[in-house]
Amino acid sequence: MRRHFTLAILAVIWFTASAPVQGQDVKETLASIPGNALGCIVSSRLDQVNDKLAAAAKKIGIPLPLSPLDLAKATFGATKGLNAQGCAAVVILPFNGQGDTGMIMLPVSDYEEFLGQFKGKGKDIVDIEVAGLEWSIAPKGKHAWLVRKQQRDLLKAALSAKSGLTKFAQPVQEWLESNDITALVTPSGIKEAVVPAREALAQAKNALGDDANAAMVLPYLDGISSLLKMVEADVSLAALGVRLDAAGNLTVDLRSLFTKNSDLAKSAAKIPTGDPLAGLPGGPFAIAMGGAIPPSIMEGLMKWNVEAIKLAAKTAGADVPADKLGKLEQSLIALSKGMNGMALVMGAGKGEKNLFGGMSAVIRTDSAAAYLENYEKMLPQMNALYKEVKLPTSVVEKKKIGQRTVLETTSDLSAVGGNDPAQKAIMEAMFGDGKMTVSITALDAKTIIMTYTPAAGLEKVLKKGGLQKDADVARTLKLLPQGAQWVLLIDPRGTAELVSQWLGTFAPGAPLQIPELPQTPPAGVGARLTESGLTVQIVVPAQVLEVLGRKVQRQKEFN
């Protein structure tokens, strides 16, 4: 049953992709949807969608398997009376114990002609057979409303409903109309999703019991549960939009709105701002990411590190004095003071002696000098504890790069993995000669930069320009939300090179071959959180779609 209903939904979306519509039609459709709906999928700006889909498919080199009208005809068996100038929707109504709760709204230009194809007659609720299934159908406004026959009463109630979703969707109306397809979730729908999730978390906590990992996991489960509780109480709207712009860029756009002066809105207002990728070096890369980190989360991460050491000590049978752990925790918390963001960039690291040689990270803090001072004070405490729990300790050296003081920390990991030659080979490949070296210095008064290389490697990184000066990176960043506090970039070419490098290290001779890709702008994800709400955008530039499409087409030809 659900499979057939899903096919019907897909057919509606495909069909309406050829149906031009004006903004007021979207409003009219939302006005018709019952106010108690959990959510809906609405098609918008349909006069352009079909052309954009066809143009994108041609550009990518992968033709559409069926035209929207052909798919609609294949699913519904007929297309007479359907309005090629209308707007369609799929509506999810509250669960009533009778199976599927979806309702389809099809735009019709002549309802009687549409109904007559299925041997139906009249404007009351009648039963028809569509795609081998029994449906109940009735007209309302400019739509034919269909539900499964066993939900006839649901259709009757929906037809008589007076309140719609126009007012609910008004804050995002303009954005909704800019999308090709939008899914909206009402507060009732949010609750329907959140309550089971919170129950699952509670069960997970109970299942942990006295497990040794509980102390590390429980704080995060509690944090997620608290967040879900705030979402349930404070999120007034959630929506997901998909669109292809005139240039062929694909954007998946998530929006949520917060209730004014709610706890979630107040918490969001405290999120630090700033450039997420500031300080990252330029050059070829696979993945670049960065963003704000609230002080409370940073302090929690530092405490989690102490719990990890406790677990390691317990596993090793070591008894670490509580006062030492307490001092380390205080040192880590002091290190986190003033930190408000982190970022990293990772590439294939060509020419480096280890897989992490192509990675650099930056830390945004109120005072780089204070951070380095606390970092240097913490290292001896960390070494003392690591020695007790039989973990590798580190050696610290101070070096100079021009006027900069660099802390170069080297940990001997050659003993990790015991006498297993395979494990030793992996450790050497990852860190170089079995030793992990981290170099760290101040980039400016409020920025720390570090590399997984000796100081000489850090010096090379410092000579590079900023990542954001790269033209391809700049193109993608322009497509992401302005003022985003978190950004993730994935460069297809660099990622392919990195995967090839890792496969060559960990699976030499593997049959899987990663093809070389031409240079394109990276795909990106950007998130902006304010007291008004959350915006998350996933962007795949047109050039990336073209490259992937050509690769798929060539693979088909090869096969």
Q: Render pLDDT for 289-315 as a digit per residue (tens, 0 to 9).
A: 999 988 777 777 777 777 777 776 666
Q: Are 32 and 105 in contact (CB under 8 A)?
A: yes
Instruction: Please check whether residue 192 lies inside any domain of the structure.
Output: no
**Mean pLDDT computed over 235-247:** 90
Structural domain tally of the chain?
2
**Mean pLDDT computed over 115-123:** 84
Task: For residues 278 and 135, state if they share a domain.
Answer: no
Q: Domain limits at 471?
A: 270-529
pLDDT of 394 over the 60 cut: yes
Residues near 148 by Cβ (< 8 Å), separated by ≥ 6? 1, 5, 99, 100, 133, 134, 135, 136
Q: How confident is the model at residue 361 (pLDDT cuts 50, 70, 90)?
A: very high
Residues near 111 by Cβ (< 8 Å), separated by ≥ 6? 81, 123, 139, 144
Which of 177, 200, 217 is the endpoint of a domain?
177
Q: Please give the pLDDT value at position 364.
A: 93
Q: Please give the pLDDT value at position 552.
A: 67
Instruction: Please check whether residue 99 lies inside any domain of the structure.
Output: yes
Provide the CB-side half-sphere exposure for 302 (13 A, CA): 24
Instruction: Please check whether residue 535 lies inside any domain of the structure.
Output: no
Instruction: Please check whether residue 76 lies inside any domain of the structure.
Output: yes
Instruction: Please check whether residue 217 lies inside any domain of the structure.
Output: no
Q: Are 148 and 136 in contact (CB under 8 A)?
A: yes
Q: Please give the pLDDT value at position 161.
A: 85
Instruction: Please check whether residue 543 lies inside any domain of the structure.
Output: no
pLDDT of 534 over the 90 cut: yes
Task: For residues 171 and 281, state if they share a domain.
Answer: no
Task: For residues 306 and 171, state if they share a domain.
Answer: no
Task: For residues 173 and 283, state if they share a domain.
Answer: no
Q: Please give the pLDDT value at position 98.
A: 55
Instruction: Please check whether residue 431 lies inside any domain of the structure.
Output: yes
Instruction: Please check whether residue 64 lies inside any domain of the structure.
Output: yes
Which of 121, 155, 177 is the endpoint of a domain?
177
Q: Please give the pLDDT value at position 277.
A: 94
Task: For residues 173 and 276, state if they share a domain.
Answer: no
Q: Please give the pLDDT value at position 548.
A: 79
Cβ neighbourhood burial of 160 (10 Å; 0-12, 13-18, 19+): exposed
Q: Please give the pLDDT value at position 3.
A: 43
Q: Are 302 and 328 in contact (CB under 8 A)?
A: no
pLDDT of 14 over the 70 cut: no
Task: For residues 285 and 170, state if they share a domain.
Answer: no
Which of 131, 150, 177 is the endpoint of a domain?
177
**Residue 410's closest CA among 372, 378, 454, 462?**
454
Q: pTM of the predicted model, to two decimals?
A: 0.85
